[in-house]
Structure 1
Amino acid sequence: MVTAQRTKEVCQIVRLKSTQVFLVAGTCLLTVMITLLCIGLMTRYEVQNEVANVADVDYWKDRVAPSQKIWYDKGIDELNEALRSSKGPQYPRNVRIFLVQGVDGRDLAALRFPTRDISQENENFLWDQFPHLVRLKNSCSQQFPCQVERVSKALWSGIPLDRVPESPTDCRDLVNATKTPLSILRQAQLAGLRTGFVTTQRITGSTGAALANTHSNYECDERMPLGSSKSGCQDIARQLISGETGKSLNVIIGGGRQMLSSLVPVSKWDPVDELLCESSDGRNLLKEWRNHKLRESKINPIKFELVQRTDELESLNASSFDHILGIMANGDLSGNAKAPSLQLMVEKSIELLKKPGQGYLLIVEQFIQSGMDKRKELQLLNDTLANLHKDQDALTLVLLTNAMYPKPTLDVSEETETIEHLSDTFNASELEMQQRLYQMPSESLLFARGPKSAIFHGIRKETFLAHAVSHVLSRSRTKP
């Protein structure tokens, strides 16, 4: 009887202690859950109410020159404002920028809504469906010379147009390379991203020159002043092929063979463009590019290819290569009747650039010259975008600019000149006045879709593009 009573007391004690342990454990678990919930709510609040000051906004601070950093820091104010309205924590791993030279908002409105044939349905382009749009101011409307080379450098380096360094005439006085402003393309390379440049123009044009960080106004040796050559200056073509930015590019596709080689094949479908520079120093920069890659492959195994015909590009298994140089015309691609389509060039470029765990920056330039069928050219871009492989990690930007700038010799912009000569202007015919007003530089339109596309809204400075792309790529996610 005593034994049974003792057993009963022991069981009651054990039961009581088990209950106490359960209560303590439950309290601890509840505390941990509440703590995690608070952390989650705080994190979500901070993400939704993103950046508050300069220290929080990332870009490649160690990748830009001191003379360039001051303008990136100033541009933070615009980024702060844009990022405050940007929802969602996702950043893109890849950025694809399509630059259309020769079309602005006025053209787009006219081409989107045809009026001559009322039976034809209104046609919206694919970028009209992009969720975000920003207007980039054009500094060419201000009172200082506006050269297309400086416009490109302002756009791709993030430095205001009036502060873009002049190209040196004596390269013995050239500033140290570490202090030279770097394009967004070079910044991406230094940060470990793969990069590509595709153009329907020649690769030595103003866009290619700015992206490759060249410091010359001459596309090849033919037109360089003798004094500049003797002081060690190099033309754009040589800098692009032998410079660090050009050598690091994974993809270069465009025209410009006559700037890169003194002896080029000539055919009825691909003649030499006599209005453009023609190399005359006996160079063969295509061969130099191949030789450089051969030397590099002995140290770091890489696969590379030089292509110069459409069929070569079509048959290329681009995903198995590390570098492609495609020179598809003697001059601009518009001068070669057998040049590859924009869609083919873009598709092959993306095939090569896409690698597991590594992001990329691809810049595509479509140059629409005066006299071209603008509707047809825009339709080619529309088809190219429509056939792109869906990539949820990619930020896609379409930038439309009229590409009409005053000649380098003018001391004032076209708009200023028109205002100063209103009396003469109004004495002209109505058609002449319309043409003159139409040729004034207009603001550029930038359509955006994809992760962080919401930061592209409102009216921004032309430097905003470089600052914004630098920021989003510096925060890119990397996935295996």
Structure 2
Amino acid sequence: MCGVKLIVVLMLTNLSLVENFKEDQAHWKSLGEEELQRALNKKITEGVAKNVILFIGDGMGPTTVTSSRIYGKGESGHLTWEKFNNIGVIKTYSANKLVPDSCSTATALFCGVKANHKTAGVDATVEVDDCEASLVPEARLDSLITWAQQAGKSTGFVTTTRVTHATPSALYAHIPNRNWECESKIPAASSSCKDIARQLIEDSPGKEINVIMGGGRQCLQSQVNGSDADPIDTWSCYSEDGRDLIEDWKADKANRSVSHQFISDNLELENVDLDADFTLGIFANGHLKLDYERDTGPNGMPSLTNMTEKTIRLLQKNSNGFFLMVEGGMIDFSHHRGHARQALDETVAFSDCIERALEITDPSETLIVVTSDHSHSMVFSGYPDRGSSVLSTIESAMDQVPYTSLLYGTGGPNNYQFVVENGTVVRPDPTIEDTEDFTYSQQAVVLTDEVTHSGTDVLVYANGPMAHLFNSVHEQTYVTYVICYAAKIGLYQNNSSTVALCFYIMLAQFMALLLYR
């Protein structure tokens, strides 16, 4: 048996030597010339984008992208969007924070205007918890969903979070506090404000969205029961007013004599009627399960790829095209809890979803934009050898205690692992645990309630009509204007010129300067 093991080791060693031999000077010269030719032969796709798909990797900063590439594809591989020819850099600060949250950044991405921390679908005149200010018509922002509907396009959004969560809320709601997902979170003094769930089901543009898929049953219905497979989300609100907004959604569509369907598990998603005008898919009480742990059986929860493919099929029948937002929301969820492998795994699942979207859409008429709302405090450090796992450990030359190549700047109690021994603060050896485990908590430097966001810029990748407009360092709001210009919706529905685009951006920036001088 020992002899067999030795042969295997020698074979692997020789394979490694062969791979290294391939990467001689000729290898890098050939690779460099190949990349140069791709750049020289880059084709610009102009014309109108009939369809737009905006993919948001929540919390997917540059470090997450790099680490996930190595985790899922190897250091020389590529995630799906890394093969796109157009790339830009996005500044993510919000109206009042250098390090933003997800709803203020979603407002920038979807509405083209920066908002204050914890607010969605409103401008910077609305402070957090200011219900009255959020009701002022001039403060309430239209979004890409609204403009697409006005242009006669079908619309939809897909998320692995609650459908009332921070990112999707900015598509359809106007809210001074992202936590007001249902009535139980709204203070009595702010009762004149409608919660996010009701705005989705009762108001425009929410009730006009053709396809909605995600979690959040406990925000839409009261008296929902939890289970081991689908627990109550204790981080979210739980409706207590006796509502059944799912039945209200059905009644609204029946009263309007439009075909509709409600689906709640894998089997129903698989058998969805692609001719229906409206589809509501709610698959969990709170967020959907992480991809690695979800039940893939008939009664389980779907993957992001499953939901996205069916949604595209449902929207494609409109001859005017469609707008779709897809959020890989559990990347952020995993980071917040300090589980790096979960975040990397969700990012690879996000990449697979985009790969499938590319396969079933026409690149000549579909603009696909991939970006993130913000980054996270995860860092990729040390000097791990090539070919090693990105989740592996390296020994510190100072105290001879190993550390993981992925670490967090901030983290909760499970990440903050410093202990006092004999009057000295020491860091425990991570090799006593399985650092490759999905639930392993990487060590953090500063103790916080959870891993916090980062203010680092994020990247935007694009493919399809007008994708070349992403080519520099941009404000996060710029994403809205490129999509509107490419699809001829919103400001550009009547073929407005680029002069109008520049004027509007400059006006918005000027007003922001006046507000915060």
* Contact 1:194 1:359 (C-alpha < 8 Å) held by counterparts: yes
* Contact 1:169 1:233 (C-alpha < 8 Å) held by counterparts: no
For 1:378 and 1:168, how far apart are their aligned partners in 2?
31
For 2:482 and 2:426, how far apart are their aligned partners in 1?
44
Match of 1:330 in 2: 285
Match of 1:379 in 2: 348
User: What secondary structure, in the 3-state scheme, does the structure 2 residue paired with 1:136 have?
Assistant: strand
For 1:393 and 1:362, how far apart are their aligned partners in 2?
14
After superposition, give the CA deviation of every residue in 1:424-445 in whole Å (9 maximum; x if it has no partner): xxxx999755999995321121
Whether 1:156 aligns to 2:129 is: no
After superposition, give the CA deviation of every residue in 1:130-162 in whole Å (9 maximum; x if it has no partner): 010011112159766844332221221111346
User: What secondary structure, in the 3-state scheme, does the structure 2 residue paired with 1:275 have?
Assistant: coil
User: What secondary structure, in the 3-state scheme, does the structure 1 residue paired with 2:328 have?
Assistant: strand
* Contact 2:111 2:480 (C-alpha < 8 Å) held by counterparts: yes
* Contact 1:92 1:395 (C-alpha < 8 Å) held by counterparts: yes
User: What secondary structure, in the 3-state scheme, does the structure 2 residue paired with 1:283 have?
Assistant: coil
Match of 1:310 in 2: 266
Higher strand share: 2
Matched to 2:105, the amino acid is: V
Whether 1:257 aligns to 2:217 is: yes
User: What secondary structure, in the 3-state scheme, does the structure 2 residue paired with 1:160 have?
Assistant: coil
Q: Residues 474, 445 of structure 1: CA spacing in aligned structure 2 closer, same or farther, 3 A cutoff?
A: same
Q: Residues 365, 291 of structure 1: CA spacing in aligned structure 2 closer, same or farther, 3 A cutoff?
A: same
* Contact 1:216 1:234 (C-alpha < 8 Å) held by counterparts: no
After superposition, give the CA deviation of every residue in 1:385-426 in whole Å (9 maximum; x if it has no partner): 223314131011111344549xxxxxxxxx9xxxxxxxxxxx
User: For 1:339-350, what aligned pairs fall within 5 Å after superposition?
Assistant: 339-350=301-312
Equivalent residue pairs, number: 365
Q: Residues 142, 262 of structure 1: CA spacing in aligned structure 2 closer, same or farther, 3 A cutoff?
A: closer
Higher helix share: 1
User: What secondary structure, in the 3-state scheme, does the structure 2 residue paired with 1:387 have?
Assistant: helix
For 2:348 and 2:372, how far apart are their aligned partners in 1?
14
Percent identical pairs in the alignment equals 30
* Contact 1:154 1:463 (C-alpha < 8 Å) held by counterparts: yes
Q: Residues 398, 434 of structure 1: CA spacing in aligned structure 2 closer, same or farther, 3 A cutoff?
A: farther
Whether 1:294 aligns to 2:294 is: no
Q: Residues 234, 398 of structure 1: CA spacing in aligned structure 2 closer, same or farther, 3 A cutoff?
A: same
Matched to 1:447, the amino acid is: Y
* Greater relative contact order, per chain length (Cα 8 Å cut-off, separation 6+): 1
After superposition, give the CA deviation of every residue in 1:280-334 in whole Å (9 maximum; x if it has no partner): 111111011111111111xxxx21111112211111132x111101111000012
CA shift, 1:266, in A, is 2.8
Q: Residues 472, 435 of structure 1: CA spacing in aligned structure 2 closer, same or farther, 3 A cutoff?
A: farther
CA shift, 1:355, in A, is 2.1
* Contact 1:96 1:397 (C-alpha < 8 Å) held by counterparts: yes
For 1:279 and 1:458, how far apart are their aligned partners in 2?
44
Matched to 1:283, the amino acid is: R
Matched to 2:66, the amino acid is: A
For 1:88 and 1:100, how far apart are their aligned partners in 2?
25
CA shift, 1:267, in A, is 2.6
Equivalent in 157, 166, 173 of residue 197 of structure 1? 157
Q: Residues 177, 189 of structure 1: CA spacing in aligned structure 2 closer, same or farther, 3 A cutoff?
A: farther
**More deviation in 324-333 or 265-274?**
265-274
Match of 2:12 in 1: none
Q: Residues 456, 111 of structure 1: CA spacing in aligned structure 2 closer, same or farther, 3 A cutoff?
A: same
CA shift, 1:275, in A, is 2.2
User: What secondary structure, in the 3-state scheme, does the structure 2 residue paired with 1:289 have?
Assistant: helix
Q: Residues 429, 96 of structure 1: CA spacing in aligned structure 2 closer, same or farther, 3 A cutoff?
A: farther
**More deviation in 328-337 or 198-207?**
328-337
Match of 1:472 in 2: 486
After superposition, give the CA deviation of every residue in 1:81-116 in whole Å (9 maximum; x if it has no partner): xxxx9955422110011110122111212232359x
Q: Normalising to structure 1: TM-score of the pair?
A: 0.69
Match of 1:353 in 2: 315
User: CA RMSD, aligned part only?
Assistant: 3.4
Q: Residues 354, 207 of structure 1: CA spacing in aligned structure 2 closer, same or farther, 3 A cutoff?
A: same
For 1:322 and 1:384, how far apart are their aligned partners in 2?
23
Whether 1:461 aligns to 2:461 is: no
CA shift, 1:357, in A, is 2.3
Unaligned runs of 5+ in 2: 1-41, 117-122, 378-408, 410-424, 428-442, 494-517
For 2:132 and 2:64, how far apart are their aligned partners in 1?
45
Match of 1:138 in 2: 92
Match of 1:99 in 2: 56
Q: Residues 226, 96 of structure 1: CA spacing in aligned structure 2 closer, same or farther, 3 A cutoff?
A: same
After superposition, give the CA deviation of every residue in 1:324-374 in whole Å (9 maximum; x if it has no partner): 011110000127642101111011101111125211100000111222523
CA shift, 1:375, in A, is 3.0
After superposition, give the CA deviation of every residue in 1:170-195 in whole Å (9 maximum; x if it has no partner): 75665454762111211211222111
Whether 1:451 aligns to 2:465 is: yes
For 2:100 and 2:345, how far apart are their aligned partners in 1?
29
For 1:471 and 1:341, how far apart are their aligned partners in 2?
32
Match of 2:503 in 1: none
For 1:438 and 1:179, how far apart are their aligned partners in 2?
29
For 2:167 and 2:75, how far apart are their aligned partners in 1?
35
For 2:101 and 2:94, how far apart are their aligned partners in 1?
9
Matched to 1:263, the amino acid is: Q
Whether 1:275 aligns to 2:231 is: no
Equivalent in 125, 147, 170 of residue 210 of structure 1? 170
Matched to 1:272, the amino acid is: I
For 1:110 and 1:362, how far apart are their aligned partners in 2?
27
Q: Residues 191, 254 of structure 1: CA spacing in aligned structure 2 closer, same or farther, 3 A cutoff?
A: same
* Contact 2:153 2:322 (C-alpha < 8 Å) held by counterparts: yes
Q: Residues 237, 359 of structure 1: CA spacing in aligned structure 2 closer, same or farther, 3 A cutoff?
A: same
Match of 1:400 in 2: 372
Q: Normalising to structure 2: TM-score of the pair?
A: 0.64
For 2:475 and 2:228, how far apart are their aligned partners in 1?
44
CA shift, 1:376, in A, is 2.1
Matched to 1:123, the amino acid is: G
* Contact 1:401 1:442 (C-alpha < 8 Å) held by counterparts: no
* Contact 1:105 1:445 (C-alpha < 8 Å) held by counterparts: yes
